[in-house]
Amino acid sequence: MPRKDTGPPRTAADEKATLLGFLDHLRTAIANKAAGVPEPQVRTAGVPSGTNLLGLVKHLTHVERFYFLGEPTDDWARTMRPSPEETVDGVLAGYRAAIERANQVVEACPDLALAAPRAPGRGRAPSMRWVLVHMIEETGRHAGHADILREQIDGSTGR
């Protein structure tokens, strides 16, 4: 079950709490967009590129693992395509597990200027601050896609 959206963080939060709060706000929004959507609509492309709700969540799971956990990804395009065996509940559980592990990595980081984990062979790692800002951008962009796809499926709007 998706978490209840508590909204963005309070303005009095420190930098790490603010960045992570906005990211968690977006993560919850995208998970909520895919939750409860029946088959086959959850994996049906809503645009000519093939983008679908379940694919967005699967992709963001890989992005979380890549940037926060240093796990390599061979084919980014494939991360957008759920297999027939993957279920909504399974993909959402994987997304939530990746988020939980990612948040543990962020919380353990004593200084956002320090390097984030990096997949082997990918060059110099960006700072944790950069990764958090990038993930807010990436997740926000895909949350907007999910908003449109969900509205096409059943007219649902809002977070």
Q: How far lies 129's CA from each of 7, 106, 125, 157, in Å?
A: 21, 9, 11, 31
Give 2's pLDDT tier (boundaries 50, 70, 90): very low
The pLDDT assigned to 123 comes to 85
The pLDDT assigned to 109 comes to 97
Task: Please give the CATH number for the structural domain made up of 15-154.
Answer: 1.20.120.450
The pLDDT assigned to 75 comes to 95
Question: Can you give the pTM of this predicted structure?
Answer: 0.92
Residues 2-7 have a mean pLDDT of: 57
Domain range summary for the chain, segments of one domain joined by +: 15-154
The pLDDT assigned to 119 comes to 82
Give 5's pLDDT tier (boundaries 50, 70, 90): low
**How does pLDDT run across 29-88, given as a tens digit for each residue?**
999 999 999 999 999 999 999 999 999 999 999 999 999 999 999 999 999 999 999 999
